[in-house]
Amino acid sequence: MLADLLKDKHLILGSSSPRRQALIKGLGLDVEIRIKAVKEEYPDRLRHFEISDYLAQLKSIPFEDTLAPNDILMTSDTIVWFENKALGKPKDNNEAFEMLKSLSDHTHEVITSVCFKSLGKQKTINSITKVTFKALSDSEINYYINNFSVLDKAGSYGVQDWIGQVAVTKIEGSYFNVMGFPMDMIYDTLLTF
């Protein structure tokens, strides 16, 4: 259905995330992957979804001069919000351990923002999902860090990984948002964009 509506559009995903790429292709859409590196920094004054909105929009800027009239660009950012601060991607395994230890036995928010851009038009959406972890032992955290890729994920975890199966006790909101792409909102936005 969506593919028919967008048949005259050229969809571009500005993300190297294999999860986002698989999810958007799961909608049956033909999408081009374009990667442009951006330094993911934001002003200290920003809070909560303002951070992910800002970063999603920031990631769209390098593409502005290359968009054709029928292009729709999507760029995105995900953060974990816990105790009034943003947890992004960890710098190393030690930082990943500290993040996961802090999330253990608590509820946090996963916030994903998506910026849609075409010539002369831009719209940014965001989705917030609450995720509750059981209490994790140090050995469980170390097992996860040593056996799964954690350095490319906000908050040091992927809900689709082992840790999601054994540690997540409750999700309030979109599961796909926790994976990094709020598919329900993306679908609805593409219907009207």
List the one residue out of 173, 33, 184 whose CA is nearest residue 109.
173
Strand blocks (E) in 134-185: 168-172
Cβ atoms of 14 and 37 within 8 Å: the answer is no
Catalytic hit among 4, 30, 44, 77: 77
Give burial (CB, 10 Å; 0-12/13-18/19+) of 139. Answer: exposed
CA dihedral sign, ordered 163, 82, 142, 157: positive
Task: Provide the residue type at 38 as one letter.
Answer: V
The DSSP element (H or E) to which 52 belongs, if any, is helix 49-60
CA distance 15 to 100: 25
Q: What is the DSSP string of 38-51?
A: ------TT--THHH
Is 30 in the active site?
A: no
List the one residue out of 177, 184, 176, 187 whose CA is nearest residue 6.
187
Specify the residue for token string 């909105």.
53
Which of the residues are catalytic?
77
